[in-house]
Structure 1
Amino acid sequence: MPSDRPRLLYVTDPAYPARGRRYGDEDLALSARLREDFTVALCHPLDAAELMAAFDAVLIRNSGPVTHYQAAFDAFRDRALAGGVRVQPPLTGRGDMAGKGYLAELSAAGYPVIPTAARREDLAALPSADEYAVKPLRGADSHGLVFLTPDRLGEVRFGDVLVQPRIRFRYEVSFYFVDRVFQYALYAPRPEERWRLEPYEAGPEDLGFARRFVEWNPADHGVQRVDACRTADGELLLVELEDLNPYLSLDLVDEDTRERFVAALKTSLHRLAATGPAEPTGAVGRGGPAA
């Protein structure tokens, strides 16, 4: 018997060996909750382009860093945008979805981010540090990250890397949003244990900081995670804006918080599926990797 429930293609790679995270567990639990409202099919990111036309909406979740299948992701993105496929998140995001070049853009514009240089002539504007992080524009999960002393910065080949001073911070904190509405925050109180997260009570200043980046990003629906670090002097600085497939750590929040998040995501997906096909576009850019 035909169903009037919206058909949802849930893109995931539960076999990806994520360090400190269990992609498969989270996606099995979340997709089971979404199945209460949708007809759900799970697929690997390499199969999404061929399958997406048969669904009312596509949800990209824990699909692994795009850097491992960049050409396939670019092909998926091109076809989805050209065909008006309804995808969450929207494939026009300016955060990690498009690579990490936005960090240099935001740094130059005076946003509270870790100071970032994408060109050799910008190195002089960086604060002095004992070490500098050199990271690929299309990096993820610390792949390709190296640390150099100041005397070795001349070795850096700009064009596909960024340079940042190595920040000594008190802790890292992440803020999670659905459709630009704050849901919860988690933090790693011990910098040496990045993935041992605990609930974080976000104050008004914290939320103002995080919302500034969510509002900057044109991705007006879907999940975004704002990752920041708290410096020794108490300032929050952006580490990354994850707007493609952020891991949610839903197993670490209380039941009420988890229920609110699931309800918000269901509402967002219902709204997306009911909008009709997205407006096709012939001008398609290239996406970047996500963590």
Structure 2
Amino acid sequence: MKTILYLTDFYYQANGRNYYEEDLYITEKLKPHFNVLIGHPHQAISNLEKADVVVFRNTGPIAGYQEYFQEMLKVVKEKNIKTFNSFDGKGDILGKQYLLELTKAGFPVIPTVSNISQLEILGDTDIYVVKLLNGADSIGMEFLTKDQLVAASPSGKIIQPFIDFKYEVSFYFLNEQFQYALYAPDKSKRWKLEEYHPSNDDLIFAEKFINWNGIQHGVTRVDACRKQDGSLLLVELEDLNPFLSIDLLSESKRQNFLDNFIRALKQV
């Protein structure tokens, strides 16, 4: 029986989500299949070699312990430690830089720049959204007019146009295989989610980013917004530790995901 080091922060307070409830539930389901050790991400390095696989789950934003996290990545690479997710993604694990890259490459993503000299790329908008380049969980996000933006001349941040979308929808993938989708019908309540039945076009959209990212193994969440014209734009590609919201799934879908999750961990 494999031993898993399950990294999580039970005390992290996330808006609209109870991280600890999800991880307590998942670890209970893993126990019949693995020896499960639970650890805090800030104390991971000294325990990495005590398990066959390190599962990096609801640890909260890494911005608060960026230096320690980078040291952990170094140790993982040097000692060839198996992790889930694998730390080889190009999305949120590296910050918001990928939004700039995807914009330049012409992907269906909210247009993103890093300098006020590039505002013409964002099109016509009255309000701009400014986010930290290495931020997460809406930390440090601002809504500015053009005059306010020019006056602030932000550095180390990304700039996007404010999008008047219909709703947000998230597509969840496990080892590049689609699992389920959830959406927020009330856009003012981001985490009041319901099951969503994606169309073939929706899945083609989401798979573009999964294929581009190409992580070896793990859970990836593709967050998108539905524009008023019906098209989708990428909001975020969460490839480090996406919250799963599995408590909102039907029993059959939840069990199917857990079966696939357990199978994937056994194969790492």
Taking structure 2 as the reference length, the TM-score comes to 0.98
Report what 1:99 is aligned to. Answer: 95
1:85 is paired with a residue whose SS is coil
The equivalent position to 2:180 in structure 1, one of 179, 184, 190, is 184
Distance 1:47 1:6 in 2: 21
Deviation at 1:159, TM superposition (A): 4.3
Residue range with higher mean Cα deviation, 88-97 or 118-127: 118-127
Q: Go from structure 1 to structure 2 and tell me whether the alpha carbon gap of 1:78 and 1:155 turns closer, same or farther (over 3 Å shift).
A: farther
Deviation at 1:220, TM superposition (A): 2.5
Distance 1:148 1:94 in 2: 28
Report what 1:115 is aligned to. Answer: 111
Distance 1:146 1:158 in 2: 11
Q: State yes or no: 1:134 paired with 2:130.
A: yes
Deviation at 1:121, TM superposition (A): 3.3
Report what 2:230 is aligned to. Answer: 234
Deviations 1:69-124 (A, max 9, x none): 11111111111111110011111210000000100110111100001002333222
Distance 1:235 1:16 in 2: 34
1:29 maps to a residue whose letter is: Y
The equivalent position to 1:205 in structure 2, one of 201, 225, 229, is 201
Deviation at 1:264, TM superposition (A): 1.0
8 Å CA contact 2:88, 2:216 repeated in 1: no
2:52 maps to a residue whose letter is: D
Distance 1:123 1:32 in 2: 49
The equivalent position to 1:255 in structure 2, one of 248, 251, 255, is 251
Report what 1:155 is aligned to. Answer: 151
Q: State yes or no: 1:166 paired with 2:162.
A: yes
Distance 1:220 1:159 in 2: 33
Q: State yes or no: 1:82 paired with 2:78.
A: yes
1:196 is paired with a residue whose SS is coil
- How well do the aligned residues superpose, as a CA RMSD in angstroms? 1.0
Distance 2:168 2:176 in 1: 21
1:135 is paired with a residue whose SS is strand
Deviation at 1:49, TM superposition (A): 1.0
**Higher relative contact order, structure no. (Cα contacts within 8 Å, ≥ 6 residues apart):** 1
2:113 maps to a residue whose letter is: A
8 Å CA contact 1:101, 1:118 repeated in 2: no
1:170 maps to a residue whose letter is: K
Q: Go from structure 1 to structure 2 and tell me whether the alpha carbon gap of 1:157 and 1:80 turns closer, same or farther (over 3 Å shift).
A: farther
2:88 maps to a residue whose letter is: T
2:33 is paired with a residue whose SS is coil
Sequence identity (%): 45
2:243 maps to a residue whose letter is: Y
2:143 is paired with a residue whose SS is strand
Distance 2:257 2:234 in 1: 23
Distance 1:19 1:270 in 2: 32
Hey, which bits of structure 1, 4+ residues long, moved more than 3 A?
156-159
Size of the aligned set, in residue pairs, is 268
Report what 1:12 is aligned to. Answer: 8
Report what 1:277 is aligned to. Answer: none
Q: Go from structure 1 to structure 2 and tell me whether the alpha carbon gap of 1:43 and 1:106 turns closer, same or farther (over 3 Å shift).
A: same
Report what 1:268 is aligned to. Answer: 264
Taking structure 1 as the reference length, the TM-score comes to 0.90
1:69 is paired with a residue whose SS is helix
Q: Go from structure 1 to structure 2 and tell me whether the alpha carbon gap of 1:203 and 1:91 turns closer, same or farther (over 3 Å shift).
A: same
Deviations 1:152-179 (A, max 9, x none): 2223445410000000000000000100
2:265 is paired with a residue whose SS is helix
> What does 1:20-99 align with in structure 2 at a 5 Å threshold?
20-99=16-95
Distance 2:59 2:169 in 1: 22
Where in structure 1 are there 5+ consecutive unaligned residues? 273-291
Report what 1:225 is aligned to. Answer: 221
